[in-house]
């Protein structure tokens, strides 16, 4: 298993644990969780689900394609930016009422989107032009 696959899968599991703790806290009666809901939602969907998919995809899709991954560097940057972006989004969402947090959310969202585009381009370049 490559370094990038292990990193993504471990990060994904950590976000699952954090998201679950936050989710349970949100179920406590009378807790006003407000914008912690999108924080929890994105810890789960971008942290747990997407990172698990990224990690497994980097292992499996080049093998299915019978090709090397197009770029290891792009995969590394996908990892760094997805983590920085998600953490900024999580904090930004949760404290969105403070104006500086709106900027943090915007920055985090753009960084997260760039991370996703790196994955998209890398995978398009790795997959065969057409299947059998």
Beta carbon of residue 31, minimum distance to ligand HEM (angstroms, whole number): 9
Query: Which residue shows structure tokens 């349970």?
Result: 24
User: Distance between CA atoms of 25 and 8, rounded to whole angstroms?
Assistant: 26
Show contacts with ligand HEM in window 85-114 (CB under 6 A): 109, 112-113
Task: Name residues whose C-beta falls within 8 Å of residue 48's C-beta, 6 or more positions apart in sequence.
Answer: 12, 13, 15, 16, 19
> Which residue in the set 26, 52, 61, 127 belongs to the binding site for ligand HEM (CB under 6 A)?
26
Under rule CB under 6 A, residue 23 binds ligand HEM: yes
Cβ(26)–Cβ(37) under 8 Å? yes
User: Distance between CA atoms of 33 and 7, rounded to whole angstroms?
Assistant: 30
Under rule CB under 6 A, residue 44 binds ligand HEM: yes
Task: Name residues whose C-beta falls within 8 Å of residue 10's C-beta, 6 or more positions apart in sequence.
Answer: none
Under rule CB under 6 A, residue 32 binds ligand HEM: no
| Candidate segments 37-45, 51-59, 60-68, 123-131, binder of ligand HEM by CB under 6 A | 37-45
| Candidate segments 5-13, 44-52, 57-65, 66-74, binder of ligand HEM by CB under 6 A | 44-52
Query: Which residue shows structure tokens 């703790």?
Result: 21
Residues interacting with ligand HEM, by CB under 6 A?
A: 20, 23-24, 26-27, 37-38, 40-42, 44-46, 48-50, 109, 112-113, 116
């Amino acid at each position: 298993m490559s370094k990038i696959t292990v990193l993504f899968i471990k990060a994904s599991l950590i976000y699952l644990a954090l998201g679950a703790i936050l989710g349970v806290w949100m179920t406590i009666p009378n807790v006003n969780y407000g914008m912690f809901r999108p924080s929890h939602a994105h810890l789960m969907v971008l942290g747990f689900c997407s990172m698990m998919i990224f990690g497994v995809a980097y292992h499996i899709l080049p093998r299915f394609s019978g090709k090397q991954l197009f770029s290891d560097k792009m995969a590394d940057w996908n990892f760094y930016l997805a983590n920085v972006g998600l953490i900024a989004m999580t904090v930004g969402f949760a404290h969105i009422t403070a104006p500086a947090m709106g900027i943090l959310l915007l920055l985090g969202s753009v960084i997260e989107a760039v991370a996703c585009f790196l994955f998209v381009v890398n995978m398009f370049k790795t997959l065969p032009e057409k299947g059998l």
